[in-house]
Amino acid sequence: MNIRSKFGLRPVINASGTMTGLGASIARPEVIDAVAAILPQFVEIDDLQRRASNVIATACGSEAGYITASASAGITLTIAATMTGDDLGLIERLPATDHMKNEVVVQTGHLVNYGAPLDQAIRLCGARAIAVGAATEAHGYQLASAINERTTAALFVVSHHTQQYGMIPLEEFIAVAHAKGVPVIVDAASEYDLKRFIAAGADVVLYSAHKFLGGPTAGIVAGSKTLVRAAYFQNGGIGRGMKVGKEGIAGAIAALQSWAARDHGAVRALEHGYLTLWRERLNNFPGIRAQLDADPTQNPLDRLKVSVDAVGARITAWDLVDALARTRDGYAPVIARDHEAEQHFFFLDPCNLHAGEEQQVLERLVVELEAAQRAPEPIVTPFAQRDARRIAGRRHWPD
């Protein structure tokens, strides 16, 4: 029996990307095999994590590494490591940070919500975020001025959620922090390049095992041996609730090893074919402009940006996204990437499609756009009303 049918779940098509709320990604066959093989077995977790450290070091160009529950957990535990080192007494004291360095400098434009507020991941270990610069403009001198005797770490976030212009570049951020003797942590949860940030001088880099890597839900911590060890030791303190099981560790190891052997060029070529198919058909509809859009954080991939003129299309971008996500007879729901739908566009991401789903995505788009053209009135819901409806829906969970 299909597992979704067994649990009474809708058979959604993910055209949004590596989103946690959709299950992140399609696990690689090697990952599934590794998880299934280790689940019935007993292992010594410290030894399994040692094996993970070697694999992470090779994959990321770091001295060491370990697997935790998620990249978000990695933020909390790595910041904790900068405050406690490997002092077991201090580790057990957290989140009380009296008489410790406990300030983390981070650019204001990087204080995002990735499903939870970034600053909350910082506060969980007893540290506090010190915002640097304005939302759309930050400079190296502001970072230098924000660092003082209470600063324990500098956090740099690489994400499509962050401000994409006017920020301190990574290399300058690292140089300024290191000149002040402050370690740099890079949150690169959904990044493709596993070696770029360590090579640039970051002390610790955090990745999600369950996004581009196609692993189980887990976080990868890569960096200097001293900080990685101190972060790993947090499992005996605040990290106990963020622990990862043997299946997560084994699956992440398999995902990293698979990543090195993957034919990335062939994957990109397949995805480009999907994007071209969608673009050529959608541009025939009134009010629709579809164009390839490069990933904003320099990942080597494109998405389709679908701009919607509600006058010509007779539907808004957000109403179209919502229509795609509803169940319709004969068609599976399609979840699009709609973080910026208020600006009258959304994205289609091809990286998590099963074979044949690219056609289903196109068919569903055509159905909804044609329905909008036939509708007696334009389909225009005020965006604020749509947002309120979504929030209300969440508040009713689990009903």
Cα gap 139→104, rounded to integer Å: 17
pLDDT in tens, 130-148: 999 999 999 999 999 999 9
Burial of 279 (0-12, 13-18, 19+ CB in 10 A): middle
Q: Is the pLDDT of residue 239 over 90?
A: yes
Cα gap 1→96, rounded to integer Å: 50
From the list 63, 32, 105, the residue with the least C-alpha distance to 221 is: 63
Q: What is the mean pLDDT of residues 377-381?
A: 93
Q: Is the pLDDT of residue 399 over 80?
A: no
Q: Is the pLDDT of residue 11 over 80?
A: yes
Residues 6+ apart with CB under 8 A from 321: 336, 338, 341, 346
Q: What are phi and psi of 315, to 5 degrees?
A: -160, 145
From the list 298, 278, 276, the residue with the least C-alpha distance to 288 is: 278
Copy the structure tokens of residue 134. 């304005």
Copy the structure tokens of residue 80. 């904790």
Q: Is the pLDDT of residue 241 over 80?
A: yes
pLDDT in tens, 294-328: 988 888 889 999 999 999 999 999 999 999 999 88
| Residue 22: band (very low, low, confident or very high) from pLDDT cuts 50, 70, 90 | confident
pLDDT in tens, 265-298: 999 999 999 999 999 999 999 999 999 999 888 8
For 50, other C-beta atoms within 10 Å of its C-beta total 12
Q: Is the pLDDT of residue 396 over 90?
A: no
Cα gap 54→199, rounded to integer Å: 17
Cα gap 317→206, rounded to integer Å: 33
How high is the pLDDT of residue 148?
97
Copy the structure tokens of residue 18. 């590596």
From the list 86, 73, 135, the residue with the least C-alpha distance to 110 is: 135
The three-class DSSP label of residue 171 is helix
Element holding 293 (H helix, E strand)? strand 288-294
From the list 176, 172, 114, the residue with the least C-alpha distance to 151 is: 176
From the list 258, 218, 207, 210, the residue with the least C-alpha distance to 34 is: 258
How high is the pLDDT of residue 163?
86
Cα torsion angle, 65, 264, 156, 141, sign: positive
Residues 6+ apart with CB under 8 A from 146: 105, 130, 132
Q: What is the mean pLDDT of residues 347-357?
A: 93
Cα gap 216→258, rounded to integer Å: 13
Residues 6+ apart with CB under 8 A from 20: 115, 210, 217
- Hunting for tokens 């940030």 — which residue is that? 197
Q: What are phi and psi of 218, to 5 degrees?
A: -170, 165
- What is the rounded average pLDDT for all residues in the chain? 94
Size (the chain), residues:
399
Q: What is the mean pLDDT of residues 348-353?
A: 93
For 170, other C-beta atoms within 10 Å of its C-beta total 18
pTM, to two decimals: 0.90
First-to-last alpha carbon distance for the chain, in angstroms, is 25
Copy the structure tokens of residue 306. 């679908």
Q: What is the mean pLDDT of residues 352-361?
A: 93
Q: Is the pLDDT of residue 389 over 90?
A: no
CATH 3.40.640.10 matches 23-261:
yes
How high is the pLDDT of residue 23?
82
How high is the pLDDT of residue 1?
52
pLDDT in tens, 25-38: 889 999 999 999 99
Q: Which CATH number is correct for 264-395, 3.40.190.290, 3.90.1150.180, 3.40.50.300, 3.40.50.150?
A: 3.90.1150.180
How high is the pLDDT of residue 51?
97
Burial of 266 (0-12, 13-18, 19+ CB in 10 A): exposed
Q: What is the mean pLDDT of residues 204-208?
A: 97
How high is the pLDDT of residue 6?
85
Q: Is the pLDDT of residue 184 over 70?
A: yes
The residue with greater pLDDT, 115 or 110, is: 110
Q: Break the chain into its structural domains and give their ranges.
A: 23-261, 264-395
What type of residue sits at position 171?
A: E
Cα gap 155→79, rounded to integer Å: 9
